[in-house]
Amino acid sequence: MNARLSLFCAVTALSLTFPCHGQLNGTNAPIDENPKPTWETQKQARTFQLSIPAPRGQITDRNGYPLAQSRLSYNLALQFPTPLDWSDAKVLAFARQHITFAKGFLGRDIPASDQAILTHYHNRGVLPLILIEDLKPEELAAARRGLTSALVLQQVYARIYPNGQLAGHIIGYTGKEAPLSIRPIENKDLIFTESQGREGIEQSFDYQLKGQSGSLHVTFDGEGNKTSERIAQPPVPGDNVITTLDQNLQRICEKVLSENCKRGAIVFIDPWTGEIIAMASWPGYNPNHFVPILNPQIYRQLSEDPSDPLLPRAFRSAYPPGSTFKTIVGLSGFESGKLTSKDIYSGPTAIDIGNVTFHNWKKVDAGRLNFVEALTQSCNTWFIQAGLKIGGPNIIDWSSRLGLGRKTGIPLKAESRGNLPNESKHKLLKGDVANMSIGQGVLEITPLQMAQAYGVIATGGQFHQTRLVKQIQGLDNKVIAAYPDRLRDDLQLKPDDMETLRKALISVTEDAQGTAHLAQVKGTTVAGKTGTAQWGGGGNRDKQRTAAWFAGFVPAEHPQYAFAALYEGEPGDNSVHGGSHAAPLIGKVLKEIYGSTPDKTAKSPPADEKSAEPSSSPDQKPADESN
């Protein structure tokens, strides 16, 4: 908090930074801020009560490391002398002389139209006319050497994101609430523009971060000369927002994404508290580019980039889950009593449902399998048979209880709710249930929802409310608002069923026939499930994209984290799969967390699995039950 206290001290020294003509004739006599009229009315005598914006509060990670702060910034401004009784010609000559001088020592152009200069002089001439905002360090040094009684430095507050683009999609950015008015000056007017949250936490907690404006009194005598200037009430800095994020884990996740994919997301949560420890989307952007105003060229680059770096994929994009959903199908079967760990189904290479043929990724019959074996091998035809027995309503009900199809409730705007089939609007046919049983069809899940669902499984059914903010703290570190752990639901998974799920998820990473060997980390047991699904393309296979998933929890026996990784493939690239692209993302993160190297004895997924793990045929459509 030292930086914040320093900023607060600077507030008390803040002024309009323009000279005080005629102030007390050099004496130290008390200042009369309410001059009394003489025998004639002193038309120009008045005291302005102006508002000083407060510095915004900090946004920090769970350990207090700053993710967003306020800093002192300097504007170069032109201060006209009082009284304000010059002709337009004299005003323009004065302004142009000093602007030309400033151009010389700064070595840059200073755009200022005659109309803007005159409008400011006639309506707001008691305030400095800002020529350049947020001087660069080298410009500030040059400006200090070139200051005159008219060219002054104005101290203002600007936002700074000390870690650059780290957690940029979560923290968001600020923009100017509104440009300073050009109408005649009135009481309560701001002496410089105020920042407003435009995205992310900056937007959601704008009121708490903004603080309370201070009051600056500026008095003029009957001739229009300034006689006094004082801070009647210093601004109160905004409150601090303490997030649940760990900046170190967030940095690891973003680094792994940046080095291993063009588009993707990784989420880590604490399943026992619901706290989001890291939530990374890639590509990202640097919110410092939005300070003090967004450079139009940079915004154009960001908005026109086909990889869409402004999109927070972790919570604002939803994808078909592919085979990661098979875990949820199994859970719904166990809890509804429609499936047991001993049930056996065959694993043929293909199965016909209505007029559609669903394929397995294996080119040979998998034989007769129980649940653990089927999940380990990610056998599509096994899960289609099991899913039809379990029934669509049971699968949808338990998916909903895991939080799918609805927003998690994090305090960020435009979170996607994903999508679950709705039987009240559309009767589920056998083809629909078959598609859903292998994570295809109309199912859509965000990476955050996926991590949340696997977190509930990790705890044996305890559904802790997913949280992104721990608390709000004042300048004195007192907690103003807290967001404690809250149990949202308790699914009370049967111990035997939980053990079966855990055993199956471990086999996915550990068993020779598993699909997630590349997520193994020596010394730690990882439980998880891969998934691969196609979406988009408007029916054109060459334009379809692949969502490669890996979701689970670690350590498997005593979960510390639940996680989800999503890798977006390029259009038409059929080489992307959960085992080969998403599982390694988690493996690389876990290597950093647990300080060990990936298990070199781990085998890569079989070649035929890499090329065939997609949950269903790309051209597959729901079948009509009557066919």
- CA-nearest of 82, 152, 62 to 124 is 82
Contact 274, 227 (CB under 8 A): no
Task: Please tell me whether residue 400 adopts helix, strand or coil conformation.
Answer: helix
Task: Please tell me whether residue 275 adopts helix, strand or coil conformation.
Answer: strand
d(CA 266, CA 566): 6
CA angle 274, 279, 283 (to 5 degrees): 165
Q: How many residues does the chain have?
A: 627
Specify whether the backbone of 167 is left (phi greater than 0), alpha (psi in -120 to 50) or beta: left
Contact 565, 447 (CB under 8 A): yes
Domain with CATH 3.40.710.10 in the chain: 247-610
85: which DSSP letter?
Answer: -
d(CA 158, CA 143): 19
pLDDT averaged over consecutive 10-residue blocks of the chain (627 residues)?
50 45 36 49 75 96 97 95 94 97 94 95 93 94 93 94 98 86 88 92 97 93 87 95 98 98 98 98 96 85 94 98 98 97 96 92 90 97 98 97 98 97 85 96 97 98 98 93 96 95 98 95 96 85 91 97 97 93 98 70 42 36 31
- For domain 247-610, is the CATH number 3.40.710.10? yes
CA distances from 89 to 86, 96, 102, 585, 607 (A): 8, 11, 20, 67, 81
d(CA 280, CA 589): 12
212: which DSSP letter?
Answer: B
In terms of CATH architecture, what is 2-18+46-243?
A: Alpha-Beta Complex (3.90)
Contact 554, 524 (CB under 8 A): yes
Task: Please tell me whether residue 355 adopts helix, strand or coil conformation.
Answer: coil
Residues 6+ apart with CB under 8 A from 422: none
Contact 566, 549 (CB under 8 A): yes
Domain with CATH 3.90.1310.10 in the chain: 2-18+46-243
Task: Please tell me whether residue 427 adopts helix, strand or coil conformation.
Answer: coil
User: CA torsion angle for 434, 436, 442, 445 (degrees, to 10)?
Assistant: -160
Predicted confidence at residue 22, as pLDDT, reads: 32
Contact 399, 332 (CB under 8 A): yes
Predicted confidence at residue 3, as pLDDT, reads: 53
Q: In what order do the strands lie in the sheet with 226-233?
A: 46-52, 214-220, 226-233
Contact 238, 197 (CB under 8 A): no
Residues 6+ apart with CB under 8 A from 183: 123
Predicted confidence at residue 621, as pLDDT, reads: 34
Q: Is residue 484 classed exposed, middle or buried when 0-12, 13-18 and 19+ CB atoms within 10 A define those classes?
A: exposed
Residues 6+ apart with CB under 8 A from 426: 432
Task: Please tell me whether residue 229 adopts helix, strand or coil conformation.
Answer: strand
Q: How far apart are the first and last CA of the chain?
A: 69
d(CA 2, CA 587): 38
CA angle 540, 545, 550 (to 5 degrees): 145
d(CA 493, CA 569): 35
How many helices (H) and strands (E) in the chain?
19, 23
Q: How many C-alpha atoms does 240 have within 13 Å on its Cβ side?
A: 24
